[in-house]
Amino acid sequence: MNKPVPTAIDHLAALTGYRDRDLLDVTLAHALMDLLTPRGVAVYKLVGDEGDQRWLLRARLDSGQPTAVSDPPWVGFEALPPREELGHLDEGLRTQTVISVSAGDEEADEAVTTTVFPLVAEGDALGVVEVQSSEKLTAGMKRTVCSILRIYRNFHGLLDYSERDTLTGLLNRKTFDEAFLKTAHEGAASLSESGDDRRHGGVGPVKHWLGVVDIDHFKQVNDRFGHLIGDEVLLLVARILRSTFRFQDRLYRFGGEEFVVLLRCSDEADAAHAFERLRSNMEAYVFPQAGHVTASIGFTQVLPTDAPSGAFERADRAVYYAKQNGRNRVCGHEALVREGKLHLDDKVGDVELF
């Protein structure tokens, strides 16, 4: 009995069956490979700030390849190709049109056509899908791909709506546990793949760290200036978080004035430096109406055996210590324990922190 040929409907059902962004991009690559039978499919996303953007490979699938490959989750920003380096990808995204480029393949002694489909959502440039084929894609094939990508973009938007804080756009609390467990498991035996020398020298095992960021006296901001100004402060703090940390660090708003950061670096000193940079950036920023606003930050190492609640509680104890000892400071849980200022069985007290 012949195996049934997958249809576009089958792939759309698979595409919308996941709530994991990594699997979403991999499923998209498999769907286009089955429907078009090209030489290869790749999904690229743009990362970085305006003026310094780079291409992150989310999924690449070549003909005859059983599983897709991608850039490592914690790849260093400097290791990624700059936007302008891959000119055909840049042109497709910049013009927001489907473009095709033909070139010869010396090894296969045949022409190869590269077709680039832009990925744009709500006016924002997300990335591109690159399809390499031995023959030019027909108009019907291009329409099929564009239809699938519209559904992909719509579903991507639904994931954003369900996974991101509506005010700041950061990840929300309900997405934290799964990402944390992935991070904890990665940390057991991971070696550095990062080329980002801001935080890691490129040798030795790499550890993961959880930081809790709590705005100092935020209740006073709301009481004095009103909740609209309070919301503006939260938006600006989220912007400072994005500009301080790397694109692959995971940033969350847990509600109210509490933010959480999951990051990767080689040792405690590097983690402390990263969080100190955030504290300093906040202290130096002049918020409209509210003026200077500071934050108390506690952090801890993520252990392979950690449950999300356990690591969060350790970082929260460090935040509590920072609040009780002057605020506007960074405290590492492990350092506080070594210094005898905290004990492993200490609990956060009932004193009002905010």
Beta bridge partners of 133: 113
Q: Is-catalytic flag, 334? A: no
Residue 199: predicted pLDDT: 42
Map residue 87 onto helix, strand or coil: helix
Which of 118, 110, 180, 177 shows the shortest CA–CA distance to 145?
Answer: 118
- Percent of the chain residues past pLDDT 90, beyond the cut: 62
What is the CATH T-level fold of the domain 8-162, as seen in this structure?
Beta-Lactamase (3.30.450)
Q: Do the first three CATH levels of 8-162 and 171-338 match, i.e. the same topology?
A: no
- The CA–CA distances, whole Å, from 101 to 132, 144, 274, 351 equal 9, 19, 43, 65
Residue 10: predicted pLDDT: 76
Q: Please tell me which residue, 13 or 62, carries the higher pLDDT value.
A: 62
Which of 77, 62, 85, 67 shows the shortest CA–CA distance to 27?
Answer: 67
**Most confident among 1-10, 61-70, 117-126 (mean pLDDT):** 61-70
Q: For residue range 216-254, what is the model confidence (pLDDT) as tens digits?
A: 999 999 999 999 999 999 999 999 999 999 988 999 999
For the chain, the structural domain boundaries read 8-162, 171-338
Q: Which of 130, 232, 257, 258 is catalytic?
A: 257
Superfamily for the 171-338 domain: Reverse transcriptase/Diguanylate cyclase domain (3.30.70.270)
